[in-house]
Amino acid sequence: MKLLISVINSEEAINAIKGGTDIIDIKNPKEGSLGANFPWVIKSISEEVDALAKNVEISATIGDAPYKPGTMALAALGCTTAGVDYVKVGLFGTSTETQAIEVMKAVSKAVKDYDSDVKVVCAGYSDAYRIKSVPPSTIPNIALASEADIAMLDTGVKDGKSLLEFMSIEQLAEFTSHCHEHGLLAALAGSLKEEHIIRLLPLQPDVIGVRSVVCTSFDRLRGKLDPKKVEDLINLMKNG
């Protein structure tokens, strides 16, 4: 099980590394749940992380995606060239499974044609009904149909409500099992606090993603990423 910490700049990336994270996830929270950062920022952070800790992987999101397969494919290619290990897409603007598969197929092709080792993350939202997106239960099927590598759940509206306020442990267990049965990695995120993570550990997701819980005042936008909070979370995941 790996810990993914979302960061917005090099300073935060360094703090996450100091805390012992497995994956640095580069995003821009000002642009949404899975808001995309700038390519030069992704490239700069990737180079710094590679110089500091070659065992730490790099993820970057290309945004809360609209139903525009060509646009998202181009964004995915740009992200891939910046030196990442994972390209993450949030299926925000897709209202049907068919639309979501079309977007994700375009993204997977763009990424894999450039570098077959880079993993594609198909991310949906546990609160999909609030944003009129595809239901979270469809995400593993969409990932499979589009040859993505990881199926992920997050929250689309960042108002402090967590993943577990929209899906039960039983539903999340089914999601994780479905992924593993079909050769997908499973990732869970969405305003998770320590008490939520303790409940998720028995499900054995491959990745747990966080940001606010390792920031001061639990503030994903204005808080500072605290390496001690990252270290404490790592210990919790190992011993919880």
Structure token pair of residue 150: 């990881």
Angle, CA 136 vertex, CA 181 and CA 237 arms, to 5°: 65
> Reduced to 3 states, what is the DSSP secondary structure of residue 222?
coil
Using CA atoms, how far apart are residues 129 and 165, in angstroms rounded to an integer?
13
Contact 90, 63 (CB under 8 A): yes
* Catalytic option among 43, 88, 119, 229: 88
**88 included as an active-site residue:** yes
Using CA atoms, how far apart are residues 182 and 177, in angstroms rounded to an integer?
9
The region, left, alpha or beta by phi > 0 then psi within -120 to 50, assigned to residue 12 is alpha
Structure token pair of residue 2: 């790996």
**Residue 113 backbone phi and psi in degrees, to 5:** -65, -30
**119 included as an active-site residue:** no
Contact 59, 22 (CB under 8 A): no
Residue type for position 214: V
In angstroms, what CA-CA distances link 190 with 60, 72, 163? 16, 22, 5
- Active-site positions read 27, 88
